[in-house]
Amino acid sequence: MEQEPKYLLIVRAKAGLKVRDTPRPESEGGVARRSEPVGKQLYAYDIHWIGPVQYARLVPQNPLKPEWVRVAEADNSVVYVDVIALEGSTGGDNGVGAIAAALNRIADALLVLAGSKK
């Protein structure tokens, strides 16, 4: 069973972003796997608070090697990525899905109404 990503992350840190093997900094043993440039899009399964820092568990390039990136500091003084919840995830569509469903129902009703006037 394959897990679907819940978030789209867009790197906004000017110096880019380091993808690590664990949700911890280099000073605590986290190993940098690679760097991603500003504007790069990454997908994440979850976002967690680890101490005063928010980390995202990425969809890894290699499924056998987990990947993590910093999202933001606790006080939001530093934000490393923009987080966009994907449709179907909790709160992800901000009501857009419900609006689209309502519009589809209205369109169906109009088609039925137009068909009955012939």
Mean pLDDT of the residues in the chain: 85
Asked whether 69 and 83 are in contact (CB, 8 A), the reply is no
My answer on whether 105 and 50 are in the same domain is: no
Instruction: Kindly state whether residues 68 and 115 are assigned to the same domain.
Output: no
Q: Are residues 65 and 34 in the same domain?
A: yes
CA distance 118 to 113: 9
| Lookup: tokens for 78 | 């530093």
Query: Which DSSP letter does residue 104 get?
Result: H
* DSSP symbols for 9-45: EEE--TT-EEEESSSS-GGGT--EEEEE-TT-EEEEE
Total of domains in the chain: 2
- The tens digit of pLDDT for each residue in 36-94 reads 999 999 999 999 998 889 999 999 999 999 999 999 987 878 899 999 999 765 544 45
pTM of the model: 0.71
Whether residue 100 sits in one domain with residue 57: no
pLDDT of residue 93: 47
Q: In whole angstroms, how far apart are CA 96 and each of 28, 44, 55, 87, 102?
A: 41, 21, 27, 9, 10
CA pair distance 89, 12, nearest whole angstrom: 23
CATH of the domain at 14: 2.30.30
